[in-house]
Amino acid sequence: MASRETASQGATATSSEPHIGLRATHQDIDHEASLIAFARRRHRQVAIAALAAVIFALLPLAIQDVYLQNILVLTLMYAALSQSWNILGGYCGQISLGHAIYFGIGAYMSTLLYTHAGVTPWVGMLAGGAFAALVALALGYPFFRLRGHYFTIATIVVAETGLLLVLNWDFAGGAQGVQIPYGPDSWAHLQFARDKLPYIYLALGLAVVSWLVTFVIEGSKWGYWWRAVKDNAEAAESLGVVVFRSKMAAAALSAFFTAVGGSFYAAFVSYIDPDSVMGFQFSLLIALPAVLGGIGTLWGPALGALVLIPMTELTRSYFGGSGSGIDLIIYGVLIMVIALARPEGLMSLFGGRPAARRGR
Amino acid sequence: MSAKLLEVRNVTRRFGGLVANSDVSLEVAKGEILGLIGPNGAGKSTLFNLIAGLYPPTRGNIVFAGRDITRLSAPARCALGIARTFQVVRSFDSMSVIENVVVGALMRHAGARQARYKALETLELTGLLARADGPAVELTPPEKRRLEIARALATEPELLLLDEALAGLTPSEAREGVELVRQIRDRGITIVMVEHVMEVVMPLVDRAVVLDLGKVLAQGLPNELVRDERVIEAYLGARHRAA
Amino acid sequence: MTLQSLAQILASGLLMGLIYALIAAGLSLIFGLMDVVNFAHGEFLMLAMYATFGIVVATALDPVLASPLVVGAMFVVGAFVYLAVIRFAMRARTNVGMVQVFATFGLGITIRGLAQHVFTPDYRSIQTSFLSGRTLDLGGVFLPLPQLFGGVLSCVSFVVLYFIIRRTDFGRALEATREDAGAVALAGIDKNRVFALGWGLGAALVGIAGSVMAIFYYIHPDVGTPFALIAYVTVALGGFGSIFGALAAGLLVGLVEAVSATLFSPSMKAIGIYAVYLVVVFFRPRGLFGNL
């Protein structure tokens, strides 16, 4: 092994490009080539995402059936929600089964701001997101000391508490929920009586943004730190990662986007009530696409949503109407089959990320 | 005459009723390779963890580059320039080899691209460049050891703590390992090594500290310690004491 | 609030708590054994209740007599679920935690769908037990017989459980397998057999609870969900893997719930439990008796 003097030992690099000076050896050039190849792989992901986005943007023009368009909106929304969940659960390894609380915060906050103060849902979305992030930070402080299942149960408990509080809060409509009064079609009010197209594009926008955020994270300092913390927190600490701070950042980001999704949903359905937006079953549904698609992967949540949501909706309409339970049976069996046949998620069909050999 | 990089001053560490380290003092000079040896149960790992910042001492101080770091956390110590490996390898199994090292490189290079470049350099030094994109979990055990070292090196430490990095290697692997340690020292990094395998360690280190039953038994040059009766007694006695 | 009404509240809370403890113990046993949180646990309870209902309707037996049959049936169901489903979840190389959560979640939904299909979503109830509608008057404190029966069964079950775990080979095998499945295999103990029996036992415990609850609760496909939620919290409160932690936590949860129902509105009674959980787990991150 040829020994090389390295100017970077002990000093921080000051330029944004790695310095290849007069004494560049063929190793430097190899490294550069390796970096370029890596960058190309990353750019390819973006290209695929752009292509997918274009396809989904054109899809509604081909599919005029309102019912199918509805499924499209929900699929895209769940892709965005699950992607947000994935930031905390997949990358950071903190499994939350109480994310419905953030969804609910987003839904209620923007709705109440709109119905009581006429604030446009666009602002309401941001307000809901910000508040959700704050709640996540406040909860993270006591909860991140909890390990594994204890943390998960704590998230469930918090979400249930939130649900109960809202159920008994008259200002928020209690069990009756809140109905958004119908008005003329308007982007400012995010209301469209019959046309689903704006909702589709909005949901697509959410899905794209959440994908982009995850993509940027994957290549960033935070992404590496989170995954390190997930794999082995002690080793991560020995490498300078401040575990607690990392988890807090992941939690806040995850909560923010989940809440924004909630605000969108409220505008979409025009009526919200605690059980539909804050229930435990809903928390599970937010996590499900990510887990089945491939937890901790970039495309997993989207893939999972693409498979699960249309299937859920279609079985429910074809089989579920009479309370016969067949839709549930199909749904349940499908989940079991995917979970057991492809525990790394559907992404493993595409070679996903290098799968760890040992179960943890 | 070398400056003192690390000082351990009268450090004691208790775990409940068990005293793992008792009034341990030692110094590490900048640029040297110090061996931390002793029979099983001597308290080497505890002392090691105390220096690394895994837990604080019950009593005593630790001073690094003139700065009291006794109460500092492990991440803070890493920022100051102390890096460590683990005896039982702890690779980040969901990541590739190079991604593992990038985690370390991010300590000094905030941008992912620079960090990756640094990671490539470090992998090259430790001979893992060919395996860079493969899953970390698929490395052989000696390669995993080298990954541990690469990760720690990527944080650009001034002091590198190696926890039994040379244990259980074949003779040729051990030779490569020794060579790597020497190369690391040649770059100006100070090294403290905990080791069991005397034949490998003694020729490598500049000085050694022998621990027994939580206390410093002797310190000095390797060839002196090897002939020191107390040291021989400690090792022979330990075998009779068998835990 | 008179002393008598306080005693009434506490008594009801304790009795219900004993039942919660049973449900939680089943969950804790399974978890302690193989680190699997059974997200179909509520559906096990629901199955047990329907089974009781079914036997009563078919044979006109008193539910109290049907109880042993139900428990036996649930034992079989539990073992079957392990062998047919969970065993494959354990083979996952990655994400074992998440895989089993969602595999059992899918299982739960499937069971719920089956129940809905076979029994329809209509609410059912059993009125025909000799215990139904009767209460014991203990110095002004009224203890409904079905709940009292449930409490007694629960106490007996825990005593039996203690003996099984501490004094039998099976119990020791359970402990050993929990510690180190690999070493146990070397000793010739079939891991799958132990796990299947463990699941059977866990399901049987829920079966006891379900067969009793069928006497005083409405039975419908979604009946299990709120109890599952309470069970998760109870197990976490007591400490995952600690069966007697489940007993202690169950009693605590029952009491807290009874007090909360009086202090707040009945629909908010769960808040007391949640608050207690959050406080306890803040100071003891592994629950009251957890060590895993």
In this complex, which of B93, B103, B155 lies closest to A225 when CB atoms are compared?
B103
In DSSP terms, which residues pair with C124 in a beta bridge? C219
pLDDT in tens, A261-298: 999 999 999 899 998 899 988 898 899 999 889 888 89
Q: How many domains does chain C have?
A: 1
Evaluate whether residue C256 is within a structural domain.
no
Evaluate whether residue C87 is within a structural domain.
yes
pLDDT class for C166, splitting at 50, 70, 90?
Answer: confident
Q: Which of A271-280, A349-358, B94-103, C249-258 has the lowest mean pLDDT?
A: A349-358
**Measured CA distances, A283 to A84, A271, A299, B153 (Å):** 12, 19, 20, 42
**CA of A357, closest CA in chain B: separation in Å?**
7
pLDDT in tens, B187-202: 999 999 998 777 788 8
SS3 content of chain A, % helix, strand, coil (to 5): 70, 0, 25
Q: Does A235 touch chain B (CB under 8 A)?
A: yes
In this complex, which of B74, B107, B113 lies closest to A35 when CB atoms are compared?
B113
From chain C, the residues in CB contact with A150 under 8 A are: 236, 240, 281, 285-287, 290
Q: Which residue has the tokens 């197209």?
A: A197
CA distance A322 to A127: 40
CA distance C146 to C148: 5
**CA of A21, closest CA in chain C: separation in Å?**
44
From chain A, the residues in CB contact with B132 under 8 A are: 34
- Mutation target for A interface from C95, C227, C234: give the one with most A CBs within 10 A: C95
- Domain B1-78+160-243 listed as CATH 3.40.50.300: yes
Q: pLDDT at position B101, please?
A: 95
Task: Report yes or no: A289 and A301 within 8 Å, Cβ to Cβ.
Answer: yes
Considering only the C-alpha atoms of chain A, give the largest distance between any 2 of them, rounded to a whole number of Å: 78
The answer to whether the Cβ–Cβ distance between B114 and A18 falls below 8 Å is yes
Mean pLDDT of B24-37: 92
Which position has the higher pLDDT, B48 or B198? B48
**Measured CA distances, A194 to A74, A184, A199 (Å):** 16, 11, 10
Mean pLDDT of C281-287: 85
Q: pLDDT at position A24, please?
A: 57
Among B residues 164-203, those touching chain A with beta carbons less than 8 Å apart: 183, 186-188
**CA of A61, closest CA in chain C: separation in Å?**
35
CA distance B165 to B151: 13
Evaluate whether residue C268 is within a structural domain.
no
Q: Does A216 touch chain B (CB under 8 A)?
A: no
Q: pLDDT at position C131, please?
A: 77
Q: Which domain holds residue C83?
A: 25-224
From chain A, the residues in CB contact with C229 under 8 A are: 156, 160, 280
How many Cβ contacts (< 8 angstroms) between chains A and B?
137
The amino acid at B49: N
Q: pLDDT at position C95, please?
A: 60
Q: Does B146 touch chain A (CB under 8 A)?
A: no
Q: pLDDT at position C291, please?
A: 66
Q: pLDDT at position C251, please?
A: 96
Mean pLDDT of C165-172: 80
Residues sharing a CB contact under 8 Å with residue B109, sequence separation 6 or more, in sequence order: A12, A13, B115, B117, B118
Read off the pTM.
0.86
Q: Does A355 touch chain B (CB under 8 A)?
A: yes
Evaluate whether residue C251 is within a structural domain.
no
CA distance B86 to B144: 11
C-alpha dihedral, C15 to C19 to C24 to C27, nearest 10°:
170
- Side-by-side strand order, sheet with B207-212: B82-84, B159-163, B190-194, B33-37, B207-212, B215-220
Block means of pLDDT (10 residues each) for chain A, length 360 residues?
39 45 65 89 92 91 87 95 93 89 95 89 94 95 85 92 90 86 79 83 94 91 89 91 88 96 93 90 91 89 93 83 81 89 80 40
pLDDT in tens, C118-152: 988 889 888 877 777 788 888 778 888 888 999 99
The answer to whether the Cβ–Cβ distance between A8 and B118 falls below 8 Å is yes
Q: Does A34 touch chain B (CB under 8 A)?
A: yes
Number of H helices, E strands in chain C: 12, 2
CA distance A109 to A132: 10
From chain B, the residues in CB contact with A353 under 8 A are: 94
Cβ burial, residue B45 (10 Å; 0-12/13-18/19+): middle
From chain A, the residues in CB contact with B135 under 8 A are: 354-357
**CA of A241, closest CA in chain B: separation in Å?**
6
Among B residues 56-95, those touching chain A with beta carbons less than 8 Å apart: 73-75, 78-79, 83-84, 86, 90-95
Cβ burial, residue B73 (10 Å; 0-12/13-18/19+): middle
Say how many residues make up chain A.
Answer: 360
**CA of A31, closest CA in chain C: separation in Å?**
32
Q: pLDDT at position A10, please?
A: 38
**CA of C92, closest CA in chain A: separation in Å?**
6
The answer to whether the Cβ–Cβ distance between A219 and B112 falls below 8 Å is yes
- Mutation target for B interface from A222, A238, A360: give the one with most B CBs within 10 A: A238
Q: pLDDT at position B160, please?
A: 96
Mean pLDDT of B152-174: 91
Is the model's pLDDT at C175 over the cut of 80?
no
Q: pLDDT at position C137, please?
A: 83
Tell me the H-state helices in A118-188. 121-143, 148-167
Closest CA to A258 of A58, A89, A8, A11: A89
The answer to whether the Cβ–Cβ distance between A150 and C286 falls below 8 Å is yes
The answer to whether the Cβ–Cβ distance between B52 and A236 falls below 8 Å is no
Evaluate whether residue C105 is within a structural domain.
yes
The answer to whether the Cβ–Cβ distance between C116 and A330 falls below 8 Å is no
- Name the residue ranges covered by the structural domains of chain B: 1-78+160-243, 82-156
Average pLDDT of the residues of chain C: 87
- Name the residue ranges covered by the structural domains of chain A: 68-279
In this complex, which of A3, A13, A358 lies closest to B137 when CB atoms are compared?
A358
Q: pLDDT at position A359, please?
A: 30
Closest residue in A to C278 (Cα) is A154
Evaluate whether residue C239 is within a structural domain.
no
**CA of B24, closest CA in chain A: separation in Å?**
23
From chain A, the residues in CB contact with C106 under 8 A are: 331-337, 339
Which position has the higher pLDDT, B225 or B243? B225
In this complex, which of C105, C110, C278 lies closest to A154 when CB atoms are compared?
C278
Q: Which residue has the tokens 């899953």?
A: B135
